[in-house]
A and B are shown apart, each in its own frame.
Chain A
Amino acid sequence: MISKDYIITAAEGIHARPATALVKLTKRFKSTISIKKGDRVVKLNSLLNILSLAAKGGETISIIVDGEDEVGALVAIDMFFHEELKHL
């Protein structure tokens, strides 16, 4: 299991567009991927759950990846939060 913190670099936070992209990303991997904000942890495979976190721009969230392809999944997550999110 790996856990890593990210600062949300998109002004609108994780709104519908990036959340949809996150769900799609999650589906590419076998690992269970979760997102944690404050005390709440939800799985990344549910758009409803991600949106329910209402993660805003500038906030810090943690991503927890657990499973056989967790290293690859984290690379994709890294790309997402460091690069792709800015353009979404």
Chain B
Amino acid sequence: MITGIGVSAGIAIGRAYLLKKQETALTGLTITDEAAIATEIEKFDKAVELSLIEVNILIDSYHEANGSEGLEILEAHIELLSDPQIKEDVAEKIFAEKKNVNDAVIEVIADAVTMFKNMEDEYMRARAADVEDIGNRILKNLSPTGKAPAHTYPPDTIIIADDLSPSDTISMDTTCIIGFATRAGGKTSHAAIIAKSRGITAVVGCGNLLTEVKNNDLLILDGQSGAIMVNPDEQTIITYQAKREECQAHNLLLKSLKDKPAITTDGIAVKLLANIANADDMEQAHDLGAEGSGLLRTELLFMGRDAFPSEDEQFEFYKAVALKAKGKPVIVRTLDIGGDKPLPYFNLPAEQNPFLGYRAIRICLDRTDIFITQLKAILRASAFGKLKIMFPMIANVQEIRAAKIVLNEAIEDLHKAGISFDKTIEIGIMIEIPSAAITADLLAKEVDFFSIGTNDLCQYTLAVDRMNEKIKDLYDPYNPGVLRLISYVIDQAHKNNIEVGMCGELASDANATLLLLGMGLREFSMSATSIPTIKNTINNNAMGFANQIYERVMAMDNSTTISAYLKEVNK
């Protein structure tokens, strides 16, 4: 098996076709005649003109259904082809160095490609492919033999290539070509982006193992995992055929839901948000239709290193997320570590009960130096997007007040330093300790929003460690006690006019969606991949039904009946 980077959903099963690139070589010929200079420049202009016509033809024949990405790339190619800097550099090589036009173009393009390849940013490095693409187009139009004959492929062809240019991918005939795999390339290359928007199964960055593939080999391409199977056995083919069907059905659902709002059939709008851990997750969240993030876990930032991240480092991290959110809200949860998630540079003594111990807000209120650094970094980043701050593990009102004192200190410091931040930033808490749930009426007066963390709330309410194999079956979010707590918290939030969301696993449980809607929950935050499924449930049901489910469930006395009933109504 060959493994690369899967860049598009889907499975392709077909025959390999090896695509060989034509190499362009320097001729080394120089111009001796002054008059030849003008001729060479004329040749360049002519080749550019022909190239522009070609790209314009590609634009005209471009189908909107393939997504706007391809079109934008082609428009960028138009600008690159007519770029005054490129023309100037080529002319300079011809004039001053007496190069022939072919060599001049090769050298100018090579320089630009090198410049992009040396850039820090992965996206920018991938732009080298665009410069190479337009360069090859000009070179092809410089040579008298010009056009390569159009090739026709048999159905179910999988292209195997060293690399594919953006225009190769854009002009790919998808009636015959069902996928491609390349030795080079990354997930931000245009070939990858276009493959995704055109629905071509693609695996890039496969490395040298790809050279083992021969023409006409039977291939299975898994665009998600990046796996490529060469001449697989019968059983594997059957397994992947089933997987392919599943993928197609799921993609269809995703496509039909992506830009639709989550709204019940009787018009109640619901906010679906993503739980994320960094800026990259935000991107996937957008793709799956999230309206922001209901939980940014900040622990990743503190793990896998040998000292606490500085304020500036943290600021860069939060800022990247804020920018990626494109104006949509992001709830930043302050540090949630404890004895179960130790940091190598922060000496936490081993505890009998880390879940009942020194953790999260308890550490932050004890070590306010760590806390204020994080708060300042979040506040500074709030100038770049809609951030909200959320404190975890709150058990009582005093803790909120103490946290707010530190927050005010952070605000004061930024004020003094003249640093800008969002002065209307909202403050909220996680409701995950039973005492917090039961005193939701009191806590609601202190904050702008609640977010119900069902995993810990369930574990603390039922006194069940869900990591303990022997008792993990006792961990049960459908327990009437847990459901009553959740329902009470939602009620109290409404009564006090503050927002309430849910970021625990129950939010992504499709069997619980209608019940939670019936309780009055309108904001669900979950792993982005669950969003389409939950949206589908919301969009196909009415509030009347949700309310009815809620009433029935609250009258039931045990979770076995409740979960059987919910499974039945959600069929």
Contact = CB atoms under 8 A, between A and B. Distances in A.
A48 B119 contact: no
Interface in A38-59: 43, 45-49, 51-52, 54, 56-58
A86 B73 CA distance: 19
B323 A16 contact: no
B384 A58 contact: yes
Which of A19, A48, A52, A58 has the most chain B CB within a 10 Å cutoff? A48
Contact of A51 (B124, B320, B323, B384): B124
Interface residues of B, number: 29
Contacts of B84: 43, 45-46
A20 interface: yes
A28 interface: no
Contacts of A56: 121
A79 interface: no
Contact of A20 (B72, B116, B120, B326): B72
Contacts, number: 64
A24 B78 CA distance: 11
A20 B79 CA distance: 7
A49 to B, nearest CB: 5
17 contacts: A10-B323, A11-B323, A13-B121, A15-B124, A16-B73, A16-B127, A16-B130, A17-B76, A23-B79, A43-B84, A46-B84, A47-B80, A47-B83, A49-B85, A52-B115, A54-B121, A57-B320
A10 B72 CA distance: 17
A58 B320 CA distance: 9
Nearest to A8: B323
B323 A15 contact: no
A48 B112 contact: yes
Contacts of A17: 72, 76
Contacts of B327: 86
A15 B326 contact: no
B73 to A, nearest CB: 7
A86 B326 CA distance: 7
Top 7 closest A-B pairs, CB basis? Answer: A11-B323, A46-B85, A47-B79, A11-B324, A57-B323, A16-B76, A20-B76
B277 interface: no
Nearest to A52: B115
A12 interface: yes
A9 interface: yes
Contacts of A57: 319-320, 323, 384
Interface in B358-411: 384
Interface in A72-87: 86
B331 interface: no
Contacts of B121: 13, 54, 56
A61 to B, nearest CB: 15
B294 to A, nearest CB: 19
A72 B384 CA distance: 28
A48 B80 contact: yes
Which of B84, B119, B130 has the most chain A CB within a 10 Å cutoff? B84
A29 to B, nearest CB: 15
Nearest to A10: B323
Contacts of B319: 57-58
A57 B50 CA distance: 36
B120 A54 contact: yes
A21 to B, nearest CB: 9
A10 B80 CA distance: 22
A17 to B, nearest CB: 5
A52 B384 CA distance: 24
B351 interface: no
B75 interface: yes
Given A20-B76, A54-B124, A86-B326, A46 B83 contact: yes
Contacts of A49: 85
